[in-house]
Homo-oligomer: A and B are copies of this chain.
Amino acid sequence: MDDLAEVEAAEEGLTKQIRNALEAEDAERLNALLDPLPYSEALREVLTLSADERDRLLNLVPTELAAELIEEAPNEMAVDLVERMEPERAADVLEELDSDVQADVIGEMDEEDAEAILSEMDEDEAADVRRLAAYEDGTAGGLMMSEVFRFPDRATVGAVLRMVASDDADFDRYRGQHPYVTDPDGRPVGVVSLRSLLTAKRSAALTSIMIEPLTVTVDTTLEVLEDIFDEHPFLGVPVVDEAGILVGVVSRTAVSDAVLERSESESLKRQGVVGDELRSMPLWLRSRRRLAWLSANIVLNVIAASVISAYEETLAAVIALAVFLPMVSDMSGCSGNQAVGVTMRELSLGLVRPVDAFRVWLKEISVGVINGIALGILIGIVAWLWKGNPALGLVIGLALALNTMLAVSIGGVVPLLLKRVGQDPAAASGPLLTTITDMAGFFLVLSLATLMMPWLLR
Q: Do B272 and A341 have beta carbons less than 8 Å apart?
A: yes
The interface-forming segment of A39-47, A102-110, A120-128, A148-156 is A39-47
Distance A345 CA – B263 CA, assembled complex (angstroms): 11
Q: Do A290 and B371 have beta carbons less than 8 Å apart?
A: yes
The answer to the question of A17 belonging to the interface, with a C-beta cut-off of 8 Å to chain B, is: no
Chain B's closest residue to A171 (CB) is: B195
Enumerate chain B residues within 8 angstroms of A301, measured Cβ to Cβ. Answer: 326-327, 330-331
Q: Do B40 and A230 have beta carbons less than 8 Å apart?
A: yes
Enumerate chain B residues within 8 angstroms of A342, measured Cβ to Cβ. Answer: 268, 273, 277-279
Distance A338 CA – B7 CA, assembled complex (angstroms): 28
The answer to the question of A60 belonging to the interface, with a C-beta cut-off of 8 Å to chain B, is: no
The minimal Cβ–Cβ distance linking A156 to chain B, given in whole angstroms, is: 14
Enumerate chain B residues within 8 angstroms of A298, measured Cβ to Cβ. Answer: 327, 331, 375, 378-379, 382
Distance A344 CA – B268 CA, assembled complex (angstroms): 9
The interface-forming segment of A129-137, A208-216, A253-261 is A253-261
Question: Beyond A199-B161, A231-B38, is A320–B312 a contact (Cβ under 8 Å)?
Answer: yes
Enumerate chain B residues within 8 angstroms of A40, measured Cβ to Cβ. Answer: 226-227, 230, 349-351
Enumerate chain B residues within 8 angstroms of A252, measured Cβ to Cβ. Answer: 252-253
The answer to the question of A28 belonging to the interface, with a C-beta cut-off of 8 Å to chain B, is: no
Q: Do A290 and B338 have beta carbons less than 8 Å apart?
A: yes
Enumerate chain B residues within 8 angstroms of A335, measured Cβ to Cβ. Answer: 290, 294
14 additional A-B residue pairs with CB within 8 Å, beyond A39-B227, A268-B341, A287-B366: A40-B350, A164-B199, A270-B271, A272-B341, A277-B342, A287-B367, A287-B371, A290-B338, A290-B371, A293-B334, A294-B338, A308-B323, A316-B319, A326-B329
14 sampled A-B residue pairs with Cβ under 8 A: A164-B194, A164-B199, A235-B235, A264-B345, A267-B267, A268-B342, A268-B345, A279-B346, A279-B352, A291-B370, A293-B338, A294-B371, A298-B375, A326-B326
Copies of the protein in its oligomer: 2
Give the residue of B74, B228, B338, B438 whose beta carbon is less than 8 angstroms from that of A330. B438
Question: Beyond A176-B176, A230-B39, A260-B260, is A319–B312 a contact (Cβ under 8 Å)?
Answer: yes
Which A residues between 286 and 345 are near B, CB-CB below 8 angstroms? 286-287, 290-291, 293-295, 297-298, 301-302, 304-305, 308-309, 312, 315-316, 319-320, 322-327, 329-331, 334-335, 337-338, 340-342, 344-345
